[in-house]
Structure 1
Amino acid sequence: MNLLMCPVCREALSLTDRTWRCLNNHSYDVAKQGYVNLHVVQHKHSKNPGDTSESVQARRAFLSAGFYAPLQHALVEKIRELRIENLLDIGCGEGYYTDAMQAEVMQCMGVDIAKNAVQVAAKLNKNITWVVGTGATLPVLDHSIDLCTSLFSPIPKEEILRVLKPQAYLIVVTPAPAHLFAMREALFDEVNEHDPHKFVEQLQDAFELIEQPIVESEFTLDQQQLKNLIAMTPYAYKAKPEKRQALEEQGSTQLKAAFQIYLFQKK
């Protein structure tokens, strides 16, 4: 069952050979890496939106080392409990979480605005429909999705409501207040705690909050692993260069990750 929507005319897309095509003959070729680019030029605000190649490679190296595996396992367990068919991962990045979640569903799509991230993701798992696209106009048919996930990504509320079936689910993952606190203390003069509850307030009129567990893990990083972690976060460009350098010169760094998971159901 094809769930993709033409970003130009909003008609359903169907796949023939290696080309997605709609009734109005708009066509989109599947790239050799195995993804399709549905981020049309009229929806673009910059030439290369999303994460840089350096950030994508750093994230792949850090996540594949297993430091955030407790979060990945918690998500997989929750999706197994929900017993859903179609999953849309919004802001899938280089695919670490999407790849694991795919095993629990019949059909899985990963969408990200960063082409270089999707190119890396597409090599992971050929059973996922990998798409370059924007959350502002999700290239997915109305009321076709059982579960949307947004992990450390923007939450295009109206688009999520459009693509979700009635009573379908949304999982949001965002940093809990204690997330990487020691690292942020080292990088910034003043550290503000993360405020995950703002997402509940943003969504409460259209979604019912079902569960809100926090997943925590502690780990010790060597210099290269710490550099990868910093490079994959907004801290890479927000921190003062001298503070970042001082932290990266430490032999090892002990950190605690804390992830807030919210499970919502569409009202």
Structure 2
Amino acid sequence: MNLLMCPVCRQGLTLAGHSWRCVNNHHYDVAKQGYVNLHVVQHKHSKNPGDTVASVQARRAFLSAGFYATLQQAVVSRIGELRIENLLDIGCGEGYYTQAMQDQVMQCVGVDIAKNAIQVAAKLNRQVTWVVGTGATLPVLDHCIDLCTSLFSPIPRQEILRVLKPKAWLMVVTPAPEHLFALREALFDEVRVHEPQKFIAQLQDDFELVDQQVVESELNLSNEHLKNLIAMTPYAYKARPEKRQLLEQQQLLTVRASFQMYLFQKK
């Protein structure tokens, strides 16, 4: 089944050769890396939206070292239990989680607003349909998706409701209250705990909370991995430069990663 939607006329797209086309003859070429750009100029608010090249490279290096493998396995295992046909990963970034999700479904679409992230992701798994696109207009057709996933990404609620089938699923992964607390203590004068429960309140009118779990792991970070972790997060620009420089001099740091995973069902 073709899931993609033309961002101009909102008709279905069909892959013909190396180009996605709609009935109105709007067409979008598949890049040599294997992705398609459906983020049209009229929807852009900046020239290069999304994560920077440096942030994407740092995340690729950090995740490739396996530090968040426990979370990846928990996500993939839960998806497998749902026994679904397709999913849309919103804000897929450089694809670490998305490429593993593909093994559990027939069709997996990974979408991110950052073209440089999708270019990296497209090299991981050619079975995934990689798309440069925006959550403001998710690039898939109405009521065609079994599961939307949002891992550390925005949750465009109305668009998710549009694309999900009746009684379909939404998985949200967000930092648990104590996530990377020691790291944040070193970077900020005042540390606030994360508040994952806010998503329950935001979604309760349209979704039923079916399941929740906390996934944790201890990270023993070398200097290189520590620098990559900082660079791939908003801490890189939110922390005071002198605090960041001081922390990045450490040769070894042990921190606890703690993730809150929610599974919702569309009412």
Q: TM-score, normalised by structure 1?
A: 1.00
Query: Match of 1:100, as an amino acid?
Result: A
Query: Match of 1:251, as an amino acid?
Result: Q
Q: Matched residues in 2 for 1:234 and 1:86: separation?
A: 31
Q: Matched residues in 2 for 1:75 and 1:139: separation?
A: 23
Residue segments in structure 1 that go unaligned for 5+ positions in a row: none
Sequence identity of aligned pairs in percent? 77
Q: Matched residues in 2 for 1:64 and 1:262: separation?
A: 24
Q: Deviations over 1:145-173 (max 9, x none)?
A: 00000000000000000000000000000
1:183 corresponds to 2:183: yes
Partner of 2:210: 210
Query: Match of 1:147, as an amino acid?
Result: L
Q: Deviations over 1:45-76 (max 9, x none)?
A: 00000000000000000001000001000001
1:169 corresponds to 2:164: no
Partner SS for 2:219: strand
Partner SS for 1:96: coil
Partner of 1:226: 226
Q: Deviations over 1:156-204 (max 9, x none)?
A: 0000000000000000000000100000000000001000011111100
Partner of 1:240: 240
Q: Matched residues in 2 for 1:254 and 1:247: separation?
A: 12
1:142 corresponds to 2:156: no
The 5 A counterparts of 1:114-129 are 114-129=114-129
Q: Matched residues in 1 for 2:165 and 2:65: separation?
A: 36
The ranges of structure 1 where at least 4 consecutive aligned residues each deviate by more than 3 angstroms after the TM superposition are none
Query: Match of 1:226, as an amino acid?
Result: L
Partner SS for 1:212: strand
The 5 A counterparts of 1:11-22 are 11-22=11-22
Q: CA RMSD in A?
A: 0.4
Partner of 2:258: 258
Q: TM-score, normalised by structure 2?
A: 1.00
Partner SS for 1:196: coil
Partner SS for 1:103: helix
Partner SS for 2:104: coil
Count of equivalent residues:
267
Q: How far does residue 19 in structure 1 lie from its aligned partner after superposition?
A: 0.3
Q: How far does residue 251 in structure 1 lie from its aligned partner after superposition?
A: 1.3
Q: Matched residues in 2 for 1:219 and 1:150: separation?
A: 23
Q: How far does residue 219 in structure 1 lie from its aligned partner after superposition?
A: 1.4
Q: Matched residues in 2 for 1:76 and 1:175: separation?
A: 18
Residue segments in structure 2 that go unaligned for 5+ positions in a row: none
Query: Match of 2:250, as an amino acid?
Result: Q
Q: Matched residues in 1 for 2:105 and 2:12: separation?
A: 22
Q: How far does residue 214 in structure 1 lie from its aligned partner after superposition?
A: 0.2
Partner of 2:86: 86
Query: Match of 1:121, as an amino acid?
Result: A
Partner SS for 1:131: strand
